[in-house]
Structure 1
Amino acid sequence: MSSGSQPAVPAGHRFAYVTLVTNADFALGARALVRSLRLSGTSADIAVLHTGGVEARALAPLATLGARLLETELLPTSDAFNAAHGRDRLHGLAPFTKGDKPAFHTPLDNFCKLRLWQLDYERVVFLDADTLVLQNIDRLFDYPEFCAAPNVYESLADFHRMNSGVFTARPAATTFEAMVTRLDAPGTFWRRTDQTFLQDYFPNWHGLPVFYNMLQYVWFNLPGLWNWPDIRILHFQYEKPWQTHAKAERLRPLIDLWHAYAGDGPVPDATSLPGPAT
């Protein structure tokens, strides 16, 4: 089995925040994420797994911010697995009805997250490239494997399902090998790709508070749950803040916050921002 990644520079710390970039759009998101981590005051490494679908010029701003770039490969999955999880077939069998997945989203790319179990770190916190870290979250390195927040964005019924946009992990080659074996077993179908797989692989996952993965739809679906001083990580699930989309005006305060982090100027103190209208 390939090691899966080729680091541009050696690790600088035993712990790392890791994100995944598979195209120029997610590289744009990752720049805001990396800057938010820098502004949080962390001393841990910030590592970016990136595939061959990302040009060097899209990755350059991440390197400028001090991110460790790790070129990675897609997982060696079977033709049957790839066909089952292709974008058109996957979305046909498991359509998204609550929001719009962007056109640049390729479901098979999601499984590259598993490569982080091959990395040369003792402890990892994974963050999707469409997240922002609003307060220091280094305490998550002391949490066990596997911790994630519930996929709450519409109702209390969401609490039974985890969201894989933020989670804690302990890299280990044995774990990675076991994962790949289970992932591509004959006849498998992972409805929500890596999210469904990880919940199956870690059935006793430890629940993080929703404030460690606050999904943007909470802003208008569950406004009573939104409290800026509590929010550590903001996650722009479905529509992205750098896109033009139908929900943009409803999410304007969150999008404006993302653009502040995506730029080079000052960012507002999120703990003092007004909450959603109730």
Structure 2
Amino acid sequence: MSRILTVAAAQLGPIQKAETRAEVVARMIALMEEAKAKRADFIVYPELALTTFFPRWYHEDRAEADPWFEAAMPNPQVQPLFDKALECGMGMSFGYAELTPEGQHFNSSILVDKTGAIVGKYRKIHLPGHVDYDETRAHQHLEKRYFEPGDLGFPVWRTMGGLIGMCICNDRRWPETYRVMGLQGVEMVVLGFNTPSVNGHRSGEGLAQRLFHHRLSVQAGAYQNSCWVVAVAKAGDEDGNHLMGGTLVVNPDGEIVAELEGEADGIIVVPCDLDATRFGKETIFDFARHRRIEHYGAITAQVGVVEPD
């Protein structure tokens, strides 16, 4: 028995600061048309798919960053993407900067079903970086300045024939991200990322090690929760700031089954059997039989490290 969801991981190459929403949406539509030709049911785009990675720029007045945010979704600039998805009968997920009616700012992603309806929203919880300008860094990473930590938790939605969850970029490095969704039976986690090719704190940590940590995190999350993970990059040189690639699909055994080469716009299409998640969920990661929550209290009782006396 199998339940196949054919997924297109749609990497975006660099988005320059001067590029308009309309230009970016046109690129996303082109990738969707390519995915449709390859019989994809569901397309996944990166974090902050509509803009450059603007948290690399410091504004003394943080409101000066508001033009990068979307006050409604869909809006007139993004509606053509929704129209094309409906025409193709394709679900989609993409990330964007969200400005709420209450004036809150989140790094968000949405899940859209094959009818064009937004069925899920996720707001990034594990925000990396810093709040104020840091002259010791090779580059600025000001997500903590421009975004608030997500307030929706890690929900999972029953849609497109399976149980699908979302996370964003740095979330993939935290095992709690996957486990909270795993405890809801998640069968596929989709995520977008914009990851600099060099660690701003440690210049010696370059592209090879960054990609190693990326793959390690995603493969571990997939294996330890017996789920598919679709991780999609925005990559390349954005106004002199380089983002790594590493768009890939990992199966429930933690194996990379497809990885996109290069840093340009492109897709990989993978038929994902959601029933392939069952073996792990019914054996080594049968949580109901094997978890011992009486010993896990520190995970939620404390934030930082508490050393023994």
TM-score interval, normalised by the smaller of the two chains: 0.3 to 0.5
User: Greater Rg, structure 1 or structure 2?
Assistant: 2
TM-score (norm 1): 0.33
Greater percentage in strand:
2
